[in-house]
Structure 1
Amino acid sequence: MSPILRGQVIFCFLLASVTVVDGIIDRNSIVQQYNLQLNRSHPYSPVQVGNGNFAFGVDITGLQTFLPHNTLSSWGWHNSSLPMTPNQTKPEDYTGVDWWTHNRLVNYAQPNPKEANISQWMIANPHRINLGRVGLWFGDENVTEQSLTQKTQWLELWEGRVSSSVTLHGSKIEVTTIASPDTDTIAVSVSSDLLHQGGLSVFFDFPYATGENKFDAPFVGLFNATSNHTTALHTEPNQAIITHTLDATTYVAQVVWQGDAAVLRLKEDEHKYVLSPGHSVDKLKFTVTYAPQATNTTTQFEHVEEAAKTWWADYWSYGAFVSFPIASNSSAYELQRRVILSQYLLAVNGAGRDPAQESGLVNNGWYGKFHLEMVFWHLAHWVFWSKWDLYDRSIGVYNRFLPSSFDRAKKQGYNGARLGKMSDPSGRSAPGSINSLLIWQQPHPMYFGEMEYRSFPTTATLQKWDSILTGIADFMASYAFLNESTKVYDLGPPMYPVSENTKPNATMNPTFELAYWRFGLDVASKWRMRQNKSIPPTWTHVYDNLAAFPVENNTYVTYEGITDMWNTPEYTEDHPGVLGIQGWLPPDPQFNESIFENTIARVHETWNFPFSYGWDFPLIAITEARRGDAERAVAQLLDVNNAFDEVGMPVGGTRVPTPYFPAASGLLLAVGMMAGGWDGKEGMTWPEGWAVEAEGFVRGM
């Protein structure tokens, strides 16, 4: 009987939450051990406050005084002017590239040399914008960070609060910075005798959008292109509304303060405003709320302070937690540090309405767009750590993108719904040489749906995912090509596998994608059976006759027909996706343990790890854990090429700028699986002698 039909027997629900220790870990004391204490600014790694949809990066002053760190949001996007090239003046003029695919022409959203201008415009637009800069204003432009003394800064993780203290000319300046958990608001308190002496104010500055750079880091926006955009000031008692217009994008910054102060434009030809306190003021409290339009709500500092304190305490207190033996083991201490700081940073940068971009809300990578193939790495950890409310914020992207996915498949002559890759919030996938040929994002919804059903086996869960899984499974079955010579279904060509480092016209039947295709079709079929619906015969036929894993010299290789893979440098760097068939995914029906053992040995022998990405190390760690090698799993998470800096930011490596958040979310995913176990492996997987306590983790498949 086919494994896909075997699921017609009664589905046995497995308990999803593995509680090793029941609520006795002193979370507060562990978290607070990793509060940041700094004495300098970090250009690429700002300390941040935020709420997942909004983040505000600060320098050593607690604001953006000396370094123009970014204020980014889920909704803040901008389009540059359309190109004026004849016949290429709007997106509808873009036609893509026709590519010969299994005896027919298929249109792909590839950069078209004949339509270079509109192609590039669609790649770069829309792009995320920096909403504005807030900093201390000394009235003296010669004051620099080097002018300050006694510089200290604390990030208090349990409360989501940044407390900064510096001294200028013998006068102490203390700044508290907090972000609202509910709105795009920062709350700031500034205390100093310089306030009433006239030597200290606060400025607000607004940049023009930068839409030309694939990577806009560490700072986003042009503060000197003042003629390209406009700002307007409207004042009322104890508040000011600054309206910022960049071409067709308009939004407001609503400033609300307590006590005697006023906002004025600094210079007529600039977009910088100053909030100046009265002569009796020695503590200035204010909030800045960024929004598409002004509201009648006037948010006070104390309201944000209390809301943030409550939200962060709840965040740390619910869901899963793990305690490592940090007092006696330096590796455990570093792993705990990375876990705690990653939890904070991902709540700030990776818990929004849309899946995160790789650099979160720190800077702009890939024009600020997010990648659908990376949704697994950005969101799966919330599932294993039982943070379902944060997972729910953005998992709806699949339902939102379903209409455009159906349209994409139809235009290419396929059935069902084909997910794109490099996406903006509208669901449009940007043209790209890799973007339109990648396929491993397609089964992600099957993974999420199945994990969700294991924890919530309800009719509501089945209905939530039904149309999504059906549409994508229809595409997956349609995409697979029946090879009349071999009588099996092939994947590709043309295509790119996970590693994105092969020739698309030569890439066929990549190992990981074959396993993920079978997994996805199997889950989609179970979904139908749970609802007493029939399974489309095409799904079963493709599943039963999908090509076998490609094997050369008794190892699994990236794709069928690859030449001398292990001795070819271009094939032994980037993502070792072949390992995903054992670890990320539960065992495939065709999985051969002996061949896989040879494969992972060859990866360790030949891989160019300095050129790997941050999620490659958690990928290998999960594989090693499932093999039972906990020592090697931890070593991968702490690998020298998988660095996390002083602030806790995952270092981007040689190919992308810092930060690269899939390394942080991948870390939590790996730790979650090692703490919660998986089907057939109850309990934890840690090195011998590690006294680990864990609670609340969800078991993997």
Structure 2
Amino acid sequence: MIDRRELAGRHAVEVTGILPESPLSVGNGGLCFTVDVTGLQTFPASYPVEDRSGTGPGTLLATMASWGWHSVPGSYGLAETMRTYRTPHGPVPYVDMRGDLSGSAEAPASAAESWLRANPHRLDLGRIGLARPGAAPLSPADLSGARQRLDLWTGTLTSRFRLRGTPYRVVTACHPERDVLAVRIESPGLTEAGVRLAFPYGSQAWGNAADWSRPEAHTSELRASAGGFTVARVLDGTAYDVAVAVTGGGEVARCGAHEFLITFREPVAELVIGFDARGAGHLPGFGEVMAASGRHWARFWSTGGAVDLSGSRDERAPELERRIVLSQYLTAIHCAGSTPPAETGLMANSWRGRFHLEMHWWHAAHFPLWGRPGLLERSLGWYAAILPRARETAAAQGCPGARWPKQVGPDGRESPSPIGPFLLWQQPHPIFLAELVRRAVGTRRALARYADLVLDTAAFMAAFAVEGPGGYGLGPPLVPAQESYADVRASAANPTFELAYWAWALEVAQRWRRLMGLGPNPHWAEVAAGMAAPRVRGGVYAAMDAPPYTVRDDHPSMLYALGFVPQTRLIDAGTMRATLADVLATWDWETTWGWDHPAIAMTATRLGDPATAVEALLRPVAKNAYLPNGHNRQSATLPVYLPGNGGLLAAVALMARGWDGGPPSPGFPASWAVRHEGLLRLP
């Protein structure tokens, strides 16, 4: 038996000063509160996020919720961005973008493109930090003696420090089931200090969730309530309440259009702060939140999957174990909300907080594999809400079923882009995710919840594939998972990864039909069995079967046709082994992304190469770095990247537990002692 409490305890996070790239968070999957070393958001400028749009830096210290979205007024529609492409189905309209788009900047060509890409955007719900009434603003120079600890077993942060020589102790927690924060502040200087609450307007910038320059565009109404107060927020069509209960003789006063200062008459105070889009209800006490957090996180770590590498002889084992443990915590607080998460979760905006459905697998597929299927089901159910829109897209492209979008907000509306509307590899994801849930919770429950999702997804897939001389093919137009081919989207066809994924997912959908008591769909069977063979050039798989065939940057997606995708008739293991060797020798590694490394580890694992699997997980390149807080950093504009954390957990599940009919612990060399519990096999 693995000592779960000891495992979590040895990876508690401790910091002793401001780490600009690595703040700590508490959350519940639907609400996240990221803080500095004061346990609050006292020094937001010390944790900057560079913005791609040139509007100025944002901050990692945000308060975000799954429901917290905003749109500036506008009346643009996708029809203004449509462009017709020649396809095997005839002329088909696609949402497109005529402006420029690159990995570091975007330049929309019209007001419609600009608005549709930027709205809705996720909103920073409020800034909560220490302040000194009537004195100069606090600065990092006032801080000394900082020591902060995130206790994973209880989900609580304890922060000790001195401000201008005065000692403080702050305890911070989040309720596991309600969007409620609890803070306890102890200091002999508290009667001369205060807590500042400030509220921004929504920002249309690429990576900034707060706009402090438009106080006239929103309202913050202060209302008294028993034991505290409520701030009623209205930003155009967005409204939410922030209810605060306060002890310690706390009193609130307005100090700006959207700023409020809480002062105290006692050296110890507790604040409970509730965020609610429907109007805040009765708030629990500080002790109730702390107790609920402790019970929740003890149960989280005591159940589900666990991996202990402490007996391994490899010197890299402690670091990999640290990444595994912290990734479980981070994905639980950032990737387990009611919608698929943004790539930066609920910590900061990227792509304006909109989520990318091709990344949903990497964020959340590990939840059922680690025995926590309910955390995936929270967002998997969202697909049903946008099913009518996905059916409209499929019908406009001459197909039955549902075609899923790429870059969206909670309404499921596609974003203008020369990439997103042409991607295909998000399409089979709902089938894969539903199948993982079925294997975890049982067939009856899964069929009741996700049968329509699976069948509509497969109906589009089978109709989209068109028979040609070499079998059923995909595209054009399309953009493969390796987005380097966006400029040739009008002629791109038959990417290796997508061909294998299409065939496998259609076979899974047929299995669901049988489980539902339905007969097999003959056309689905014909397409799955007749997918075109991937292009082989020089003894290795090409990225796609159209010029330029393979470019050597971004995602080496041809590898994922065996690894991420289980074995299919389309992929020869020997050719894939040669492809893996070719990629390892020639790829531009600095252009890869965080999830590429666990994806490569999955390929190596299924090919029986555990040494390469471990090397892939720990490859020392910039976008495979994991910060002290456990986050997978990519760049100054993409400072956290949850697909890397979720991908790591999915890869480790495959490496430790294996797949149906496969060997035990197939992804770890003999020098690794891998103890695991509660993991599920992959297909």
Do the two structures share a fold, i.e. TM-score over 0.5?
yes
Contact 1:93–1:118 (CA under 8 A) maintained in structure 2 = no
Which digits, 9 at most, give the CA deviation of each residue in 1:602-652, with x for residues without a partner? 101111111100000000011111222222211111111210011211011
1:265 maps to 254
Residue 671 (str. 1) matches residue 652 (str. 2): yes
Q: 1:150 to 1:276 in 2, by over 3 A?
A: same
Q: Give 2:5's match in structure 1, choosing from 11, 20, 28.
A: 28
Contact 2:573–2:607 (CA under 8 A) maintained in structure 1 = no
SS of the counterpart of 2:364? helix
Contact 2:342–2:356 (CA under 8 A) maintained in structure 1 = yes
Which digits, 9 at most, give the CA deviation of each residue in 1:408-460, with x for residues without a partner? 11112212111111111112122211111001111112212322333344333
Q: 1:397 to 1:260 in 2, by over 3 A?
A: same
Which digits, 9 at most, give the CA deviation of each residue in 1:179-201, with x for residues without a partner? 111111110001111123xx211
Q: Give 2:77's match in structure 1, choosing from 91, 102, 105.
A: 91
Q: 1:563 to 1:429 in 2, by over 3 A?
A: closer
* CA displacement at 1:205 relative to structure 2: 0.5
1:72 maps to 64
Contact 1:241–1:294 (CA under 8 A) maintained in structure 2 = no
The amino acid that maps onto 1:180 is: H
SS of the counterpart of 1:98? strand
Contact 1:326–1:333 (CA under 8 A) maintained in structure 2 = no
Q: Which moved more, 1:224-233 or 1:177-186?
A: 224-233
Query: How many residues are treated as equivalent by the alignment?
Result: 654
SS of the counterpart of 1:506? coil
Equivalent residues in 2 for 1:208-607, closer than 5 Å: 208-211=201-204, 213-216=205-208, 220-267=209-256, 270-278=257-265, 281-325=266-310, 329-483=314-468, 486=469, 488-502=471-485, 503-563=488-548, 565=550, 571-607=551-587
Q: Quick one: distance in 2 between partners of 1:304 and 1:214?
A: 34
1:696 maps to 678
Q: Which moved more, 1:237-246 or 1:51-60?
A: 237-246
SS of the counterpart of 2:148? strand
Q: Which moved more, 1:333-342 or 1:163-172?
A: 163-172
SS of the counterpart of 2:243? strand
Q: Which runs of 5+ in 2 are unaligned?
A: 45-58, 100-107
SS of the counterpart of 2:512? helix
Q: Quick one: distance in 2 between partners of 1:63 and 1:624?
A: 43
Which digits, 9 at most, give the CA deviation of each residue in 1:241-265, with x for residues without a partner? 0112212211111010124221110
C-alpha RMSD of the superposition: 1.8
The amino acid that maps onto 1:209 is: G
Q: Quick one: distance in 1 between partners of 2:152 and 2:120?
A: 33
Q: Quick one: distance in 2 between partners of 1:562 and 1:511?
A: 13
Which digits, 9 at most, give the CA deviation of each residue in 1:9-33, with x for residues without a partner? xxxxxxxxxxxxxxx1111112111
SS of the counterpart of 1:416? coil
Residue 108 (str. 1) matches residue 103 (str. 2): no
The structure with the larger Rg is 1
* CA displacement at 1:104 relative to structure 2: 2.0
Q: Which moved more, 1:679-688 or 1:629-638?
A: 679-688
Q: Quick one: distance in 2 between partners of 1:423 and 1:532?
A: 35
Residue 206 (str. 1) matches residue 199 (str. 2): yes
2:185 maps to 190
Q: Quick one: distance in 2 between partners of 1:164 and 1:457?
A: 43
Q: Quick one: distance in 2 between partners of 1:428 and 1:190?
A: 43
1:63 maps to 40
Q: Quick one: distance in 2 between partners of 1:482 and 1:116?
A: 38
Contact 1:251–1:292 (CA under 8 A) maintained in structure 2 = yes
Q: 1:137 to 1:563 in 2, by over 3 A?
A: closer
Contact 2:312–2:671 (CA under 8 A) maintained in structure 1 = no
SS of the counterpart of 1:662? helix
Contact 1:230–1:271 (CA under 8 A) maintained in structure 2 = yes
Same amino acid, percent of matched pairs: 34
Higher relative contact order (CA 8 A, sep 6+): 1
Contact 1:528–1:535 (CA under 8 A) maintained in structure 2 = yes
TM norm structure 2: 0.93
Q: 1:222 to 1:106 in 2, by over 3 A?
A: same
Q: 1:366 to 1:95 in 2, by over 3 A?
A: closer
Q: 1:514 to 1:355 in 2, by over 3 A?
A: same
Q: Give 2:15's match in structure 1, choosing from 20, 23, 38.
A: 38
Residue 180 (str. 1) matches residue 162 (str. 2): no
Q: Quick one: distance in 2 between partners of 1:618 and 1:31?
A: 22
Q: Which runs of 5+ in 1 are unaligned?
A: 1-23, 83-88, 566-570
Contact 1:611–1:653 (CA under 8 A) maintained in structure 2 = no
Q: 1:93 to 1:608 in 2, by over 3 A?
A: closer
Contact 1:651–1:660 (CA under 8 A) maintained in structure 2 = yes
